[in-house]
């Protein structure tokens, strides 16, 4: 069956003009807004994907996974699992022009499937609440860089102490996450083309420019090439099941998969542009930025003679000491933490948009009201995360999972939420909706998806199975990603 909806574009005001007289064509999109074109979508969706996951999380995951071995498996996971799930989500969004709950309601009315969309909306909310706390740290570090806090005297011990006291201080931790949620809400209130797309069109090129400057600086440092080798030369001896789990989890998180963010972004996709092209561009951009971040951090680290191990503190603890030793390090520290804040912002925007789109589509809320209320509600859940890094003892080590409140949120929403979500989304497409329908919507407008049968096979069989294996592994071993 040929999809019934006409081509719909948003005007500068974000309103959708009636382009044809077919009521079927107008109903779904009216008032929702749409990307103004291919570039708008690619930048916004790449903005969602590229975030703390690429610049903060990828490098420390890589160091935990032995450098090149992790990167090798990660690239396989992106291509074999991430890209098929990405296309599955985008196809659902494009076909339904709805938020995750509305999308499943439309494709499987009268079933339990819309609950899967509800889980995605809840995960968006849950991830936003802890993600905004870490995003707040990046703003704090940007401020410190601007005020010259990473001067030559900052050694590993001083940097560790600074990080500990900074994230353990309730005022900055709460205040900065609130600031981040406010900025996010301001953009989301502006709508699709007028808010999210406009912000992404400015922020993404700035981010890329800053990262390229940092890359040139890092790889030309004395000894910097050792870091390049560490990241790009897989040591087969480092390949363990744990590395595979880390890599698959990183691929899902980094590409914003498993909770309907890409269903939501796909739902604003104009019908006349090529989804195979746009989807591939988003996946490539996400992968390249992660590698770029690695190619900045590891050469800088090796050049300073430091150990690549550093866990979640790698970027916040280790890098400032590297900047402290580098010529013009203070300037590069500003650039680095500015880029981290920008990347985080375009991701928090997408997390909030999933929840807002649900409230707008399904509950009939006004967009502005939805964004404001979600920011406030999210702030309430962000406070315990902000206080769980030393400020309040019992929040810092919860009986559940023996982790801090923030880490518990990450495990619940980031690990379990995204992987269960991705399994169910691929099962839905594979066995309920059907991969032929998925391909039809991806290829709408006659743009063929290269390797279409491969993607269909991966979505139907390999993705759910592979992610389920990872899920069982983390549940049994308690080793999260
Ligand atoms: N992909 C984002 C990152 O790499 O930081 C995080 C994220 C955003 C995950 C949106 C999930 C999501 F829906």
Q: Which helix (H) or strand (E) holds 304?
A: none
Mean pLDDT score, 153-179: 93
Q: Is any ligand 1 atom within 6 A of the Cβ of residue 190?
A: no
Per-residue pLDDT, 312: 84
Asked if pLDDT for residue 5 goes beyond 50, the answer is: no
In this structure, the residue with its CA closest to atom 9 of ligand 1 is 256
Asked if pLDDT for residue 13 goes beyond 90, the answer is: no
Per-residue pLDDT, 18: 34
How many angstroms separate the CA atoms of 9 and 16, rounded? 6
Query: Among 47, 53, 417, which is best to mutate for testing ligand 1, by the most ligand atoms less than 8 A from CB?
Result: 53
Reference 386, options 220, 206, 197, 139; nearest CA is: 139
Query: Among 125, 131, 342, which is best to mutate for testing ligand 1, by the most ligand atoms less than 8 A from CB?
Result: 131
Q: Please give the DSSP secondary-structure letter assigned to residue 114.
A: H
Taken in order of first residue, the domains within the chain and their CATH numbers are 30-477 (1.10.4160)
Q: Is any ligand 1 atom within 6 A of the Cβ of residue 48?
A: yes
Q: Is any ligand 1 atom within 6 A of the Cβ of residue 382?
A: no
Per-residue pLDDT, 8: 35
Mean pLDDT score, 164-179: 96
SS3 content of the chain, % helix, strand, coil (to 5): 75, 0, 25
Q: Is any ligand 1 atom within 6 A of the Cβ of residue 56?
A: no
Mean pLDDT score, 123-142: 97
Return the higher-pLDDT residue of 12 and 207: 207
Q: Is any ligand 1 atom within 6 A of the Cβ of residue 127?
A: yes
- Which of 7-11, 61-65, 171-175 has the highest mean predicted lDDT (pLDDT)? 171-175
Asked if pLDDT for residue 88 goes beyond 60, the answer is: yes
Mean pLDDT score, 148-158: 85
Residue 479's region, left for phi above 0, alpha for psi from -120 to 50, else beta, is: beta
Q: Is any ligand 1 atom within 6 A of the Cβ of residue 347?
A: yes
Q: Which residues of 236-257 are buried (b: 16+ CB within 10 A; e: fewer)?
A: eebbeebbbbbbbbbbbbbbbb
How many angstroms separate the CA atoms of 253 and 77, rounded? 12
How many angstroms separate the CA atoms of 283 and 319, rounded? 27
When pLDDT is cut at 50, 70 and 90, the band that residue 478 belongs to is confident
Per-residue pLDDT, 24: 38
Q: Is any ligand 1 atom within 6 A of the Cβ of residue 254?
A: yes
Kindly report the average pLDDT of the chain as a whole number: 91
Per-residue pLDDT, 3: 38
Return the higher-pLDDT residue of 10 and 406: 406
Q: Is any ligand 1 atom within 6 A of the Cβ of residue 72?
A: no
When pLDDT is cut at 50, 70 and 90, the band that residue 189 belongs to is very high
The model's pLDDT over 395-434, given as tens digits with 9 standing for 90+, comes to 999 988 889 999 999 999 999 999 999 999 999 999 999 9
The model's pLDDT over 326-377, given as tens digits with 9 standing for 90+, comes to 888 999 999 999 999 999 999 999 999 999 999 999 999 999 999 999 999 9
**53 CA to middle of ligand 1, Å?**
7
Q: What is the percent of the chain with per-residue pLDDT over 90, rounded to a whole number?
A: 79
Asked if pLDDT for residue 66 goes beyond 70, the answer is: yes
How many angstroms separate the CA atoms of 11 and 177, rounded? 33
Query: Among 52, 129, 350, which is best to mutate for testing ligand 1, by the most ligand atoms less than 8 A from CB?
Result: 350
Per-residue pLDDT, 22: 34
Per-residue pLDDT, 168: 95
Q: Is any ligand 1 atom within 6 A of the Cβ of residue 333?
A: no
Per-residue pLDDT, 30: 58
R_g (Cα) of the chain, nearest Å = 21
Q: Is any ligand 1 atom within 6 A of the Cβ of residue 350?
A: yes
- Please name the residues in contact with 21: beta carbons below 8 A apart, sequence gap of 6 or more: none
Q: What is the percent of the chain with per-residue pLDDT over 70, rounded to a whole number?
A: 94
In this structure, the residue with its CA closest to atom 10 of ligand 1 is 256
Asked if pLDDT for residue 10 goes beyond 50, the answer is: no
Mean pLDDT score, 8-26: 35
**DSSP class per residue in 28-54:** TTTTT---SSHHHHHHHHHHHHSSHII
When pLDDT is cut at 50, 70 and 90, the band that residue 29 belongs to is low
How many angstroms separate the CA atoms of 313 and 311, rounded? 5
Q: Is any ligand 1 atom within 6 A of the Cβ of residue 53?
A: yes
Return the higher-pLDDT residue of 17 and 199: 199
In this structure, the residue with its CA closest to atom 12 of ligand 1 is 256
In this structure, the residue with its CA closest to atom 7 of ligand 1 is 256
Asked if pLDDT for residue 129 goes beyond 80, the answer is: yes
How many angstroms separate the CA atoms of 310 and 307, rounded? 8
**51 CA to middle of ligand 1, Å?**
6
Q: Is any ligand 1 atom within 6 A of the Cβ of residue 52?
A: yes
Return the higher-pLDDT residue of 456 and 474: 456
Asked if pLDDT for residue 385 goes beyond 80, the answer is: yes
Q: Which residues of 459-476 are buried (b: 16+ CB within 10 A; e: fewer)?
A: bbebbbebbbebbebbee
Cβ atoms of 347 and 45 within 8 Å: the answer is no
Q: Is any ligand 1 atom within 6 A of the Cβ of residue 51?
A: yes
Asked if pLDDT for residue 311 goes beyond 50, the answer is: yes
pTM: 0.91
User: Which phi and psi (to 5°) does residue 259 adopt?
Assistant: -135, 10
Cβ atoms of 459 and 430 within 8 Å: the answer is yes
Return the higher-pLDDT residue of 149 and 89: 89
Q: Is any ligand 1 atom within 6 A of the Cβ of residue 414?
A: no
- Please name the residues in contact with 469: beta carbons below 8 A apart, sequence gap of 6 or more: none
Q: Is any ligand 1 atom within 6 A of the Cβ of residue 417?
A: no
Task: Pick the range with the lowest mean pLDDT from 135-144, 237-246, 318-327, 360-369.
Answer: 318-327
């Amino acid at each position: 069956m040929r999809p019934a909806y006409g081509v719909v574009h948003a005007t500068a005001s974000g309103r959708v003009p009636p382009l044809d007289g077919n009521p079927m064509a107008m109903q779904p999109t009216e008032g929702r807004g749409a990307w103004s074109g291919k570039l708008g979508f690619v930048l916004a969706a790449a903005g969602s994907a590229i975030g703390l996951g690429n610049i903060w999380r990828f490098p420390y995951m890589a160091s935990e996974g032995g450098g090149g071995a992790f990167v090798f498996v990660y690239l396989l996971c992106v291509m074999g699992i991430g890209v098929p799930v990405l296309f599955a989500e985008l196809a659902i969004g494009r076909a339904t022009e709805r938020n995750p709950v509305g999308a499943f309601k439309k494709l499987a009315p009268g079933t339990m499937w819309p609950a899967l969309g509800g889980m995605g909306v809840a995960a968006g909310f849950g991830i936003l609440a802890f993600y905004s706390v870490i995003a707040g740290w990046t703003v704090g570090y940007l401020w410190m860089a601007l005020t010259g806090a990473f001067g030559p005297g900052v050694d590993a011990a001083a940097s560790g102490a600074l990080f500990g006291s900074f994230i353990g201080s309730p005022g900055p931790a709460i205040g900065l996450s609130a600031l981040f949620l406010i900025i996010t809400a301001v953009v989301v209130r502006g709508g699709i083309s007028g808010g999210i797309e406009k912000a992404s069109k400015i922020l993404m090129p700035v981010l890329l420019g800053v990262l390229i400057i940092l890359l040139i600086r890092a790889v030309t440092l004395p000894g910097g090439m050792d870091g390049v080798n560490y990241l790009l030369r897989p040591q087969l001896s480092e390949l363990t099941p744990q590395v595979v789990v880390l890599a698959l989890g990183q691929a899902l998180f980094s590409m914003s998969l498993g909770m309907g963010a890409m269903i939501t972004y796909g739902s604003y996709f104009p019908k006349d542009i090529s989804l195979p092209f746009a989807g591939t561009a988003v996946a490539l951009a996400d992968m390249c930025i992660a590698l770029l971040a690695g190619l900045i951090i590891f050469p800088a680290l090796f050049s300073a003679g430091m150990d690549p191990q550093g866990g979640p503190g790698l970027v916040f603890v280790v890098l400032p000491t590297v900047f402290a030793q580098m010529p013009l390090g203070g300037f590069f520290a500003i650039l680095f933490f500015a880029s981290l804040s920008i990347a985080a912002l375009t991701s928090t925007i997408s997390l909030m948009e999933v929840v807002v789109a649900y409230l707008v589509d399904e509950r009939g809320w006004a967009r502005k009201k939805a964004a404001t209320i979600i920011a406030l509600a999210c702030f309430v859940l962000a406070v315990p995360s902000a206080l769980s890094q030393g400020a309040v003892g019992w929040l810092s080590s919860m009986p559940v999972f023996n982790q801090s409140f923030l880490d518990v949120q990450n495990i619940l929403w980031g690990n379990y939420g995204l992987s269960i979500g991705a399994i169910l989304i691929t099962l839905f497409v594979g066995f309920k909706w059907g991969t032929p329908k998925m391909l039809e919507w991806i290829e709408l407008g006659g743009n063929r998806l290269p390797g279409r049968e491969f993607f269909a096979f991966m979505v139907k069989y390999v993705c759910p199975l592979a992610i389920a294996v990872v899920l069982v592994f983390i549940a049994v071993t308690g080793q999260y990603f």
